Amino acid sequence: MPTPDQIRDVMLFAGLDDPELEVVASRLKEESFAKDDFIFHEGDAGDKFYIVDSGMVSITLAIEGVGTEELLFLERPAFFGEMALIDAAPRSASAVCRKDSRLLSLGKADFEKLIVEDIGIGNKIMIAFIRTFCTRIRKSNEKLRNYYKIHKAFEGSS
């Protein structure tokens, strides 16, 4: 069973105290993946999220006419797949191991039970989710802004 020390430095749980970390850790499951194993594919149904405990995971996106693009590489204590806990939409990207990896997972049903049974933990985690989403949206906006700057500059030079 995962321990509180394994999740203490995960940004999603930064606001939790030791007893709360113990509660969350008791809900997590350890999963092992070999290098090049897919954890999930873009379009799959999402039913859990993951924390990288060891190894490395790449998040990839298939772009029609371009191929597969690696969006980011994740190592301990990063987490991914969290949108599956919030909405019922299919996975928006794929996740593949770039090294043998040990991941901690939390299923959607366990997550929902956790945030309902302990409102204090639930509120802290949901605030961390919101902060994570805001940070990721800001980064995406900046990437999009830079893309258009480069695109406009390229158009102007031709």
Do the strands 94-97 and 79-80 form a parallel or antiparallel pair, or are they unpaired?
unpaired
> What pLDDT, on the 0 to 100 scale, is given for residue 126?
92
> What pLDDT, on the 0 to 100 scale, is given for residue 144?
84
3-state secondary structure 37-50: CEEECCCCCCCEEE
Q: Residue 116 forms beta bridges with which residues?
A: none
Q: What's the pTM value of the predicted model, to 2 decimals?
A: 0.87
Share of the chain above pLDDT 90, in %: 70
> What pLDDT, on the 0 to 100 scale, is given for residue 39?
98
Residue type, 65: G
Residue 102: pLDDT above 70?
Answer: yes
- How far is it, in rounded angstroms, from Cα 42 to Cα 91? 5
In the chain the first and final C-alpha atoms are separated, in Å, by 59
Residue 88: pLDDT above 90?
Answer: no
| 11: DSSP letter | G
Residue type, 115: I
Domains along the chain? 4-157 (2.60.120.10)
Best CA proximity match to 12, nearest among 121, 108, 88: 121
